[in-house]
Amino acid sequence: MLPNTLTMGALIDEAAARWPDTVFLHEEDGRTISFAAFRDGARRVSRALIARGGAPGHRIAIWAPNSAGWAIAAAGAVQIGVQLIPLNTRFKGAEAADILARGGVRWLFSVRDFLGFDYAAMLAGRDLPLLEEIVFLDDGFDAWLAAGEAIDDAAIDARIAAVAPDDVADVLFTSGTTGRPKGAMSSHMQNLRTFQAWSDAVGLREGDRYLVVNPFFHTFGYKAGWIAALLQGATVYPMAMFDAASALRRIAAARISVLPGPPTIFQSLLDAPERATADISSLRLSVTGAASVPPVLIRRMREDLGIDDVLTAYGLTESCGCVSATKAGDPAELVAASCGTPIPGVEVRLVDPEGSDVAAGEAGELLVRGFNVMKGYLDDPAATAEAIDAEGWLRTGDIATQDARGYLKITDRAKDMFICGGFNCYPAEIEARILEHPEVARVAVVGRPHERLGEVGHAVIVAKPGAAQDAAAFLAWCRDEMANYKAPRTVEWVAELPLNAAGKVQRFMLK
Give the mean model confidence (pLDDT) for residues 396-418. Answer: 85
Domain extent at residue 44: 8-237
Question: Would 358 be classed as within a structural domain?
Answer: no
Residue 500 banded pLDDT, cuts 50, 70, 90: low
DSSP 273: G
| Three-point CA angle 301, 302, 306, nearest 5° | 95
Q: How far apart are CA 446 and CA 457, in angstroms?
A: 6
Alpha helices in 57-187 (DSSP H): 68-78, 93-102, 119-123, 141-146, 153-162
Q: Is the model's pLDDT at 342 over the cut of 50?
A: yes
Give the mean model confidence (pLDDT) for residues 389-396. Answer: 96
The per-residue pLDDT for 353 is 82
Residue-by-residue DSSP string for 46-89: HHHHHHTT--TT-EEEEES-S-HHHHHHHHHHHTTT-EEEE--T
Which segment of 246-250, 321-325, 443-447 scores lowest on mean pLDDT? 443-447
For the stretch 464-496, pLDDT in tens is 889 999 999 999 999 999 999 999 999 999 998
The domain boundary, picked from 221, 237, 253, lies at 237
Strand partners, 370: 346
Residue 242 banded pLDDT, cuts 50, 70, 90: very high
Assign residue 178 the CATH number of its domain.
Answer: 3.40.50.12780
Which positions ≥6 away from 177 have C-beta within 8 Å? 397, 414, 415, 416, 417, 426, 428
In 144-190, beta strands by DSSP E:
168-174, 182-187
Cα 22 to the chain's mean position, in Å? 27
* CA separation, residue 412 to residues 311, 358, 399, 495 (Å): 20, 16, 5, 30
Q: Is the model's pLDDT at 320 over the cut of 50?
A: yes
Question: Would 462 be classed as within a structural domain?
Answer: yes
Q: How many domains does the chain have?
A: 2
Residue 504 banded pLDDT, cuts 50, 70, 90: low
Tell me which residue of 97, 99, 98 sits closest to 85, measured CA to CA.
Answer: 99
Q: Is the model's pLDDT at 291 over the cut of 80?
A: no
Q: Is the model's pLDDT at 271 over the cut of 80?
A: yes
Judge contact between 232 and 258, C-beta under 8 A: no
Assign residue 465 the CATH number of its domain.
Answer: 3.30.300.30
Give the mean model confidence (pLDDT) for residues 227-243. Answer: 97
Give the mean model confidence (pLDDT) for residues 374-388. Answer: 96
Give percent of the chain with pLDDT exceeding 90. 77
Q: Is the model's pLDDT at 503 over the cut of 60?
A: no
The per-residue pLDDT for 502 is 45
The per-residue pLDDT for 436 is 86
Question: Would 32 be classed as within a structural domain?
Answer: yes
Q: Is the model's pLDDT at 267 over the cut of 70?
A: yes
Give SS3 for 310. strand
For the stretch 43-61, pLDDT in tens is 999 999 999 999 999 999 9
Question: Would 448 be classed as within a structural domain?
Answer: yes
Which positions ≥6 away from 157 have C-beta within 8 Å? none
For the stretch 134-159, pLDDT in tens is 999 999 999 999 999 999 999 999 99
Give the mean model confidence (pLDDT) for residues 114-124. Answer: 94
Mean pLDDT of all residues belonging to the chain: 92
Question: Would 504 be classed as within a structural domain?
Answer: yes
Q: Is the model's pLDDT at 179 over the cut of 80?
A: no
The domain boundary, picked from 237, 259, 277, lies at 237
The domain boundary, picked from 237, 254, 275, lies at 237
Residue-by-residue DSSP string for 431-492: HHHHTTSTTEEEEEEEEEEETTTEEEEEEEEEEPTT----HHHHHHHHHHHS-TTTS-SEEE
For the stretch 48-102, pLDDT in tens is 999 999 999 999 999 999 999 999 999 999 999 999 999 999 899 999 999 999 9
The per-residue pLDDT for 337 is 83
Question: Would 364 be classed as within a structural domain?
Answer: no
Q: How far apart are CA 411 and CA 386, in angstroms?
A: 23
Question: Would 374 be classed as within a structural domain?
Answer: no
Question: Would 398 be classed as within a structural domain?
Answer: no
The per-residue pLDDT for 413 is 66
For the stretch 23-39, pLDDT in tens is 999 999 999 999 999 99
The per-residue pLDDT for 290 is 54
